[in-house]
Structure 1
């Protein structure tokens, strides 16, 4: 069953490595028959958060926010691709996520984290889990950490080793299960 799973990238740096992970995730989701549009803050050029999307009078939100809100409302799940900056998440990721709230409700999220070092961004992922839960899109139990991203994936997001693709299989199986389960429950109503 096809799902819509936007892939939300968190870095806007000019030499960012996360685009490799985002391309890998998009390709893996599409190979499973899912829609995986990339939400790239470097391309969207979202304003710094002054007011949330829902705080604009109807029809007065900037077009970029209106379009993104529509995508998020149609989504079945989200995959967040996060670097680790100072043991935390990148500011561009926080800015992208914080513009919205209700659009995330009752949909699971999954975290793909990465770093240049050996830990693969897991310290940022732990903080991101709390944030995603508060936004109403709790993360699945599995993580997809990518240590030494500059070696693990090429520019197009193709893995250097088969191990990453194997590890990703469980991650995407779990995300699919949660997304299908929550989509079925949303269809029969939500608590509010």
Structure 2
């Protein structure tokens, strides 16, 4: 049975470049036989966080939030594709993520970061690691760090140049790590109910 993986992306910019990396990851994981869906924070359009999903009475959450909650609960694993803004997290992705909590529990998460510069979003990746762990996910050790993104992936999400070759070399380990943890957490949840 195929693993159900959500790839979450959060840029709201008009000329966003990170969508190239999100598309590359969706294509790469799909080619490995997974059931993959891109969750684009801008397209979903959740408001700035006021009330989390769990703070709404059953059946009263906004439709987009309700639909996304069901997708998160049904997923086997997550990939967070994040840019870096002023050494920090991308606010659109953080806002989307914070609307939920228990829905994320007991599944693995992978982080793929990018930037226009040579540091490839590494500082945002480090911040996300602690946040996703606090939100109940098992964060895998393999990461992808892409930069400069405009010289690494074409507008169609195809690797190009030296950075593209490095991405193609790094992706299989990233995907293998995610697959291993996805299998492990699925097996453990089937064997024994989570403690909370």
- Please say if 1:170 is aligned against 2:173: yes
User: What residue is the counterpart of 1:191 in the other structure?
Assistant: 195
* Cα distance in 2 between the residues matched to 1:61 and 1:104: 17
Q: TM-score, normalised by structure 1?
A: 0.98
- Please say if 1:127 is aligned against 2:131: no
**RMSD of aligned residue pairs (Cα, Å):** 0.9
RCO higher in structure (CA 8 A, sep ≥6): 1
Report 1:58-137 matches (<5 A): 58-137=58-137
* Cα distance in 2 between the residues matched to 1:164 and 1:91: 25
Which consecutive residues of structure 1, in runs of 5 or more, have no partner in the other structure?
Answer: none
* Cα distance in 2 between the residues matched to 1:163 and 1:83: 19
After TM superposition, the runs of 4+ consecutive aligned structure 1 residues lying more than 6 A away are none
User: What residue is the counterpart of 1:28 in the other structure?
Assistant: 28
User: What residue is the counterpart of 1:150 in the other structure?
Assistant: 150
Aligned residues: 192
Contact kept in structure 2, 1:129 and 1:138, CA below 8 Å: no
* Cα distance in 1 between the residues matched to 2:144 and 2:182: 17
Greater strand share, structure number = 2
Displacement of 1:163:
2.5
Q: TM-score, normalised by structure 2?
A: 0.96
Which consecutive residues of structure 2, in runs of 5 or more, have no partner in the other structure?
Answer: none
